[in-house]
Chains A and B, each alone.
Chain A
């Protein structure tokens, strides 16, 4: 990025034309352009300085106006839809773009190798403008940007099972995600507490396992969400967490669940209610196969997860049916677990999707997995190196950096003094300090696909969704897009990284932009500080 030597003011012409300079632009790109066009003029975000935009009044009078933004594909590249570009294999995504604000007279040029790259460039373009009394302007009119992500996988993991979220919440979240160039919604859609996913092969699962008839994602809802995400450059990785975290399946199919709601839950599960798939049962295995196939066949993405965290062995040890099945088949529980994972990974692969799995399956249970498996490292950031040792690709989702739900106290009843298991709260500063290559050798670095912050919803729901994820999630979005180095060549981290004049200033700006667009991102500081970057630092 370069911004010219001195501030150069440039305003947007009120009839700015966003012009596509190649043939047959796909409809989803045209729709994205219309959204950009609309937001450029509906955003009312003023610069975060004392007096807001009023300081720029004089300069604005004679400022040149940008009349067009020209979108170009690098010659010869096919104009595929954003949706198609989003659904290519994760390592093959083309998200790079170049943006030059005053390339030629009063035209800006945005070019990329793909429509997805153009879409990322539009997200950048939208962030450049301030409002003052209806005039949209930037102080960096000479800006030139060459940009591409450090990592292709930049995600948000979302639990819609502990508490339910309406479709509109998910769509709003996808919009906000796209503004910070996140690329994946990792949808932890079901769990032990509820089963809100309508599955064509087994409609009874959601009929009996959802919290209510109103708290179900129908097939149409899923299609809508996936399409909406894909049009915004966001891939959807659905996680069908198994064989643990599946009690809610028992509401419709008690025959498939061992230790269902067994007491005391703490012996059989990491949280109530207990219950796991009967992995040793051939009937249950057949059920899992059909279940995964039914869900996978409706998803266009190239990735899908079978979860696999927090399997409890005692649950199966005390389950008569499981013990009988093991005895009859003369196999051990770990044979059964291996076979279960092999089965569901087989279904995922057969649907042309890359399987994801939670790190404890690999590290604790030593379950063999397909070579192209992507491991979700969650327990601690320390586990990344161990996964890399096994030559498996992985994404970072460490609870000690990225869990958005930590620090709100224990949610279990009768535990008065308890703090959350992953206390304290993971601040944006903590997330921002994450080094994706920590403890990895140079040779292992290509195994890192990226990372994601998760929201586990035991204590969250529609009421606090925006405020618990925004703007913190944006900190991780920058970790994995920007990587280790800022545009000026300096390290993204370092002792002053979280100063009010550096990342904090930009994060404050993003927060105000989110609020301006109706996303209820929390204040990171008193507004007094926000308007005076650097004056609320520790040493200022």
Chain B
């Protein structure tokens, strides 16, 4: 049901300047209202969990420190007289609906993806009487606080809105609103990841898909398998320790974000050979282009019982580090030639009488079995269901990446899916080729603009009866040409685009969206996130005047 209402009608635009993503139902007025100097948030939640109290404290801190002027000419100077005469809002009352179970935000954010409750109602009267925020869960309250923060602007010491009264009833169209970060091609520090989580939660994202390892480096310290990082990380300073992981996962959870870790297998594993050469076929074989999609080549020896056991053990150990109910085993770009040329794999296949496809099936069932035993739902890249004939649990979540056109085929197979299509959502495209001697453009040229991402239709070519299979989507940063140096500018505010597509539903008008996207980018910059400018500031301050036809 939740997914069937995706094609909602957008509210007419009268302002709602700062709201991103746009609430599903929103009424605003034209009255100015300011926050009283002693404005406070009153929590009427018995036994409020500490992460909710912390969230309220953060909201108060953001209200105080954002210091964002309205993104219009004069930055609010023209509002001074209405501010002067505006009524003051003294309090926001936060409460759960009667009978709601009190759980922490963190717990709510880690529930099975289709059972989460993120809806909320927010009412801000224009007469100065108390504003109210209600929800069925602390996670819903948290989303509502995020909305509340986006309503206020500063001018000469006052925080105000010119759109009271405000009435919002809101809930996401899709539960998976994600961002994927590759920390293997180049490393990102814990603080980079936390700052990214800060930005994600500003736009109500729910999933941090962490592509933690790949062929180039293995930066995750896994208990029982510490040699993988000690030999496979770029540097001892470029390792995520178990306490780093806990730090990140807790930080995310308190911000309503579930962390889905991905250990990509059986391809994209060359670096495991640094510690375990016995498990890797065709490591750093030449020419790499015969053996892998990019250098260095190297894949887990999936036909080997010992490698299968090793992988299952590794995945199970990683699963224990991450509280999410979902974990990805990857599965993209498996190269058959690598295995055909690998004598050990050929011997194993011969001994077991299996074809390569059968061996992949056995391998996957084994590794998936290991994480299912840890209580995880497996997620895989699309090739696992579209290119390979293997048995997967019906619960498996499929990540569509090669092309948006492939989502329908995944739905046809009755798998739940997450959209991450390279033709809409790849944040790294368009920066040229990174392979030496190649002077070409990036394989997924051109750059995926926010406008392109904004046109994405999650239900395109998917039948009504399969509509419920679409869990949502995510924008992705593959890090061949990225690092801490350009993380913020390459991700923000573009990644906010899909956050709105999957919260508010598709069909938004990019013309209407642009001023709001400017607004959230301005607010991000106020909070120390280096979001890029989408236009000259002249245009940002004058919505509509820099359209192609204005």
Contact = CB atoms under 8 A, between A and B. Distances in A.
B485 A272 contact: no
Interface stretch (A169-177, A318-326, A348-356, A496-504): A496-504
B39 interface: no
Contacts of B75: 212
B298 to A, nearest CB: 11
Contact of B532 (A192, A261, A460, A536): A460
Interface in A492-510: 495-496, 498-501, 504
A413 B546 contact: yes
Contacts of B447: 407-409, 419-420, 425
A459 interface: yes
Contacts of B451: 409-410, 415-418
Contacts of B439: 427, 429-430, 433, 498
Contacts, number: 244
Interface of A is mostly: loop
A412 B543 CA distance: 11
Interface string B458-486: 00000000000000000000011111111
A193 B435 CA distance: 39
A415 B483 CA distance: 30
B485 A540 contact: no
Contacts of B544: 413
A481 interface: no
Interface string B513-548: 010000000000100001111111111010011111
Given A417-B452, A464-B530, A407 B430 contact: yes
Interface of B is mostly: loop
B550 A527 contact: no
Given A272-B545, A413-B544, A522 B446 contact: no
Given A463-B531, A535-B295, A536-B436, A419 B446 contact: yes
A373 B11 CA distance: 57
Nearest to A427: B432
A452 interface: no
A425 B479 contact: no
A534 B295 CA distance: 11
B545 A536 contact: no
Interface in A502-531: 504, 515, 520-529, 531
Interface in B425-447: 430-439, 441-442, 445-447
A426 B489 CA distance: 18
Contact of B547 (A412, A419, A459): A412
Interface stretch (A129-137, A263-271, A436-444): A263-271
A41 interface: no
A22 interface: no
B296 A535 contact: yes
Contact of B446 (A163, A424, A457, A527): A424
Given A414-B548, A416-B451, A535-B295, A193 B480 contact: no
B441 A526 contact: no
Of B235, B439, B450, most A-chain CB atoms within 10 Å: B439
B287 interface: yes
Contact of A411 (B288, B289, B490, B534): B534
B136 interface: no
Interface string B121-146: 00000000000000000000000000
B436 A538 contact: yes
B286 A540 contact: yes
A164 B537 CA distance: 8
Interface residue range, chain A = 35 or more
A277 B490 CA distance: 37
B434 A466 contact: no
A407 B547 CA distance: 19
A461 interface: yes
Given A266-B548, A407-B446, A537 B437 contact: yes
A444 to B, nearest CB: 27
Contacts of A15: none
A427 B489 CA distance: 18
Interface string B210-228: 0000011100000000000
Interface string A359-384: 00000000000000000000000000
Given A407-B447, A416-B451, A163 B537 contact: yes
A228 interface: no
A539 interface: yes
Nearest to B450: A409
Interface in A31-59: 52
B511 interface: yes
A423 interface: yes
Contact of B455 (A211, A416, A418, A538): A416
B454 interface: yes
A501 B436 CA distance: 8
Contacts of B185: 526-528
A526 B268 CA distance: 13
B187 interface: yes
A458 B234 CA distance: 36
Contact of B510 (A264, A413, A529): A413
26 contacts: A163-B533, A193-B536, A194-B537, A263-B550, A264-B549, A273-B545, A408-B447, A409-B447, A411-B534, A413-B510, A414-B547, A427-B439, A429-B438, A459-B532, A459-B535, A462-B530, A463-B530, A498-B439, A523-B482, A524-B481, A525-B436, A526-B217, A529-B295, A529-B436, A536-B295, A537-B436
Top 5 nearest A-B pairs (CB, nearest first) are: A427-B432, A409-B449, A464-B489, A500-B436, A193-B538
